[in-house]
Chain A
Amino acid sequence: MLGPGHKPPQPDRAQCRQFDQDLPAYLEGVETPAVLKHVRECSSCAVTLADLEQIRFVSRHLPLEDPPARVWANIRARLAEEGILHEQVPAWHRWFNRLPLVSESVPVGALAGLAILALTLLNSPQGFESPGTLDALSGNPQVVTAGMMSADFDASMTRTLTEMEEAYLGRESSMEPTVKETYRRSLDCLDANIAECLRHCRRDPRDALARQYLSRAYQSKAEVLTSALEFDRP
């Protein structure tokens, strides 16, 4: 027992920083005696470790949740920054097209994530957003052709978005009128964009810019629906 006025020895910050470094390995199951020794001396780190252990325990029993849309956006930005995105496009595209998109067993969130990811990946390669790509595009018509999506893809995308929208409509009643109105206005705007782009692309299938806009409208709609579906999650 500690007497009155007795303070437990407080480790310096260097030990706490070392603890922070060792912690991931410890939580992965690596034997790190320094971690256990430190938590006996440092109440703050002991609390941190206890919290993490509790989180780990509780999270084992949680249902799997889909990450929010911003996570995809961050991943996308990071991949684009590192130049990785371009290399993965064909593989993801093929993988995406093989998925049973409208299967009822697939959670809506996963559908949303996949839709956003697929569209992001389709939207990004050799796109007009990257500076200097236009010259490359003009010298390589095959790239433009590859950027154009098929009618099958449009149909598949429409089905996926319809599934998501049905799920959204099921939850729409729980939204506040003003928020619901905002989502409705955005979705109506995007629906109008998609319809106009589709009409334009049917008239002029070689218009890569219109195709890019169509792809972007699909992507935006998937993002808006994802955001709406996250809205009333507990």
Chain B
Amino acid sequence: MYNRRVDFEIGQTAKRLILRVAFIAVAPTCLLMAAGPGRLEKTLDTTGDPQITLSNLRGQIAVRGWVKNQVHVICVTASPRVEVDVDALPRTGQVERIQLATHVLDPLVTGNDETADCALDVPVGASLEVRNRQGAVLVEKLQGQHAWIESADARISATDVAGHLTARSLGGDIEFTRPTGRADAYSITGSIRLLDPGSKNLRANTNSGKITYQGDFIPAGEYVLSTYSGDIEVICPPSASFELNAKTVKGKLENTFSLTHKRHSPSPFPSANSLFGTYNTGNATVELTSFSGKIRVRPQP
């Protein structure tokens, strides 16, 4: 009887101990899981032209230039097991380089839980490098040396960027609005829209997506637009002045500007449909090529 009671009490104690240990072990995990999204907000004093690098797995990224010599970062993560590291150099005084990187702390975190949405206000003179695997990237009002944006399938939108602008997205659409520096857009299946460009050097290339150029050409500018099967549409004002060099292997060419045709020897592209000519004084050079996409050049209504 005594032994059975002692055994019972020992059993109860052991059970309580096991439960306590289990609670201690499991509770932080449960709390962590219940903690929901994380948030990082930080303001850094910078030079007028800091270099900012952002590497993110998934989420929306917005970067806007402002007149302050400060970088203000707000990042919201979907899971507390995703963290955003901010590394600033030099560590004292005005910051010249900032690196933001998303890390997944738990390898079991996948899919939407990897999401980190980030909004950055940066000095207008900042240079930028953004790599966001999934999720839209929006960049506005930057005049720094360069802005490099890369994504797997996200939409990339850049407005009023004055430096060398490069955007690459495998499957996402790219839209440049009023770029004034050199601009390069590359996609495989996404479409590219170039609106009111003020660039003197602009290149766009996509395979199956469409390219739309809407705006005037800058004198002495070079514009190279190329697709494989996607259509190219150029819509410019009747006052535009350009030298057109359009060719396609199998696609169609459609031009409603009355060009002054150049005299030239037979084309080295025997099977290509080609169109060469000058409109007005031919200040800018416009090269349009496709394999099978339709090329259309027309004035703005």
A interface with B by C-beta (< 8 Å) = 43-45, 47-48, 70, 73, 77, 128-129, 131-132, 134-135, 137-139, 141, 144, 176, 178-179, 182-183, 185-186, 189-190, 193, 196-197, 200, 204, 206-210, 213, 216-217, 220, 224, 227, 231
Contact = CB atoms under 8 A, between A and B. Distances in A.
Contacts of B92: 43-44
Contact of A190 (B133, B166, B207, B269): B207
Given A131-B222, A178-B134, A70 B148 contact: yes
Contacts of B150: 70
A204 B271 contact: yes
A179 B287 contact: no
B266 A186 contact: no
The 3 closest A-B pairs by CB, nearest first: A182-B153, A186-B188, A131-B285
B291 interface: yes
B73 interface: no
B189 interface: yes
Contact of A129 (B134, B152, B228, B287): B287
Nearest to B289: A128
A193 B228 contact: yes
Contacts of A137: 268
Contacts of B222: 131
A210 B276 CA distance: 18
Which of B89, B110, B152, B268 has the largest number of chain A CB atoms within 10 A? B268
Contacts of A47: 90-91
Contacts of B287: 128-129, 131
Contact of B249 (A48, A70, A139, A209): A209
B99 interface: no
Contacts of A197: 291
Contacts of B248: 209
Given A47-B91, A70-B150, A128-B289, A190 B188 contact: yes
Interface residues of B, number: 49
A178 B272 CA distance: 37
A186 B170 contact: yes
Interface string B262-301: 0011111111100010000000010101011000000000
Contacts of A213: 228, 249, 291
A66 to B, nearest CB: 16
Interface string B215-248: 0000000101010110000000000000001011
A30 B224 CA distance: 47
Nearest to A140: B268
B171 interface: yes
A186 B267 contact: no
Contact of B110 (A128, A141, A176, A220): A176
B298 to A, nearest CB: 22
B93 interface: yes
B268 A144 contact: yes
Given A129-B224, A209-B247, A193 B207 contact: yes
Contacts of A208: 268-269
Contacts of A141: 268
Nearest to B182: A77
Contact of A189 (B189, B224, B268, B276): B189
Given A209-B289, A210-B271, A185 B171 contact: yes
Nearest to B184: A77
A186 B189 contact: yes
Contacts of A131: 222, 245, 285, 287
Contacts of A45: 90
Contacts of A189: 188-189, 207-208
A43 to B, nearest CB: 7
Contact of A135 (B228, B264, B291): B264
B153 A44 contact: no
A227 B170 contact: yes
B28 interface: no
Nearest to B245: A134
A209 B245 contact: no
